[in-house]
Structure 1
């Protein structure tokens, strides 16, 4: 379900938008949290979704290893890359 927060933020000169602290608290978004950016071209919407632990290559959620902060690869994809 999508609901309006009533908050409007401007995009700065570097293309950044600040998420209100209330929104970050509701979703448990911290400074190091990853956000996935989705684009709905038909409805002209940009959707930010709290990133979950998924393999960057195959999108699996099992046997993950952190490769860098907020980014994971599964054992199978790591083996393929070697």
Structure 2
């Protein structure tokens, strides 16, 4: 269900929009969380969805280790590569 907040924000000179603390708290958004950005040109909507971390080799979300920023492998794939 879409819910209006009545909050508006301007886009800054670098194209950023600040998410108000009330929204971040309500949705459990933390610093450094990643988001996938979707757009609907017809309705002119931007949709942000919290990105799930998955193994880049097999797609598993279990027992992940961050190899480099934004690059995750699960323990099974790490063992396979050794």
Instruction: Answer yes or no: same fold by TM over 0.5.
Output: yes
Q: Match for residue 52 of structure 1?
A: 52
Q: Which range is displaced more, 64-73 or 21-30? A: 64-73
Unaligned runs of 5+ in 1: none
Where in structure 2 are there 5+ consecutive unaligned residues? none
TM-score (ref. length: structure 2): 0.69
* Greater relative contact order (CA < 8 Å, ≥ 6 in sequence): 1
Query: What is the count of residue pairs matched by the alignment?
Result: 81
Q: Which of the pair has more CA radius of gyration?
A: 2
**CA offsets 1:18-45 (integer angstroms, 9 cap, x no match):** 0000000011111121122111222211
TM-score by length of 1: 0.69
Q: CA RMSD in A?
A: 2.9
